[in-house]
């Protein structure tokens, strides 16, 4: 005999199972209803929230997130301060390095100029002296050539004292023309070898101007000397030679 029994009274889901006739001789074991054991809270777990006896949350449940937020905010501010300090330090170092480099370069240039100033002044003096030497080179060469020519002429005259007397005649005539320079009775002295020639050509002129002609062994042939109350006028060969040498080489005689 098969009887269909209803296991669930749900209106949305009906499951029917056939019922079989069991053996009446077998004892029927009481059905054991399995119930889930209630979960016991672990000692290591932290409850997310707690309620008081009235069912409201405690103030400690809101305090912990606020503390965490304040800690995080402080960490962010500290990191921002450290970052700003590092950037400011780097910028200050770069600016200070540039300023120090510029100031050091300028100071080094000033020190170098001050140290080189004596050398520059000495070099400038050498350049000026060299330029003066070049400027006076022409005159020095001319003076040396003149001195050489006078030395050669003196050597030739010393070896050959022959003179035609033309220069002596011209010199005496110039002295006579300068008569206002002499007062009294001037004396004209010549070398004994020139006495006869001068008396022959200029004797009447000397007498007319009141000059006296005398011989002087201390004079060289071709030279003369005028003595007056105001002083002497030396036109001897030795004196004129000395003056030529002095003009040709100033500072050496």
The pLDDT assigned to 146 comes to 66
Q: What CATH code would you report for 139-157+166-248? A: 3.30.2320
Mean pLDDT across the stretch 161-186?
A: 72
The pLDDT assigned to 161 comes to 45
Q: Which of 71-85, 86-100, 114-128 has the lowest mean pLDDT?
A: 86-100
Mean pLDDT across the stretch 51-55?
A: 51
Helices 137-159, 60-135: axis angle to 10 degrees equals 20
| pLDDT at residue 131 is higher than 50 | yes
Mean pLDDT across the stretch 60-73?
A: 71
- Considering only residues 94 and 33, tell me which one the structure prediction assigns the higher pLDDT: 94
What are the structural domain ranges in the chain? 73-135, 139-157+166-248
Strands 3-6 and 231-235: unpaired
Distance from the first to the final alpha carbon of the chain: 177
Strands 187-190 and 224-228: antiparallel
User: Is the separation of the CB atoms in 212 and 250 below 8 Å?
Assistant: no
The pLDDT assigned to 5 comes to 46
| 179: confidence class by pLDDT, cuts 50, 70, 90 | low
| 53: confidence class by pLDDT, cuts 50, 70, 90 | low
| pLDDT at residue 75 is higher than 80 | yes
SS3 249: coil
| pLDDT at residue 32 is higher than 70 | no
Cα separation of 139 and 132, whole Å?
Answer: 12
Q: Which of 48-57, 78-87, 119-128, 221-230 has the lowest mean pLDDT?
A: 48-57
Question: What percent of the chain clears pLDDT 90, i.e. is strictly above it?
Answer: 0
What would the pLDDT profile of 136-157 be if each residue is shown by its tens digit? Answer: 766 666 666 766 776 776 666 5
């Amino acid at each position: 005999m098969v009887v269909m029994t209803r296991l669930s009274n749900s209106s949305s889901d009906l499951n029917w199972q056939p019922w079989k006739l069991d053996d009446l001789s077998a004892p029927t074991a009481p059905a054991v209803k399995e119930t889930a054991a209630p979960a016991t809270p672990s000692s290591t777990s932290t409850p997310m929230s707690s309620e008081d006896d009235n069912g409201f949350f405690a103030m400690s449940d809101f305090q912990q997130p606020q503390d965490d937020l304040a800690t995080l905010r402080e960490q962010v501010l500290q990191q921002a301060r450290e970052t700003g300090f590092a950037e400011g330090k780097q910028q200050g170092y770069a600016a200070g390095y540039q300023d120090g480099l510029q100031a050091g370069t300028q100071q080094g240039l000033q020190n170098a100029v001050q140290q080189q100033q004596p050398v520059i002044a000495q070099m400038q003096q050498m350049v000026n002296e060299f330029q003066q030497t070049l400027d006076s080179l022409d005159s020095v060469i001319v003076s040396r050539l003149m001195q050489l020519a006078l030395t050669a002429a003196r050597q030739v005259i010393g070896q050959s004292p022959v003179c035609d007397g033309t220069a002596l005649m011209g010199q005496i005539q110039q002295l006579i023309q300068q008569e206002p320079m002499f007062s009294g009775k001037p004396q004209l002295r010549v070398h004994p070898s020139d006495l006869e020639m001068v008396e022959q050509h200029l004797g009447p002129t000397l007498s007319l101007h009141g000059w006296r002609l005398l011989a002087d062994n201390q004079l060289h042939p071709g030279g003369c000397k005028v003595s007056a109350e105001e002083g002497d006028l030396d036109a001897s060969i030795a004196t004129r030679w000395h003056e030529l040498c002095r003009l040709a080489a100033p500072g050496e005689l």
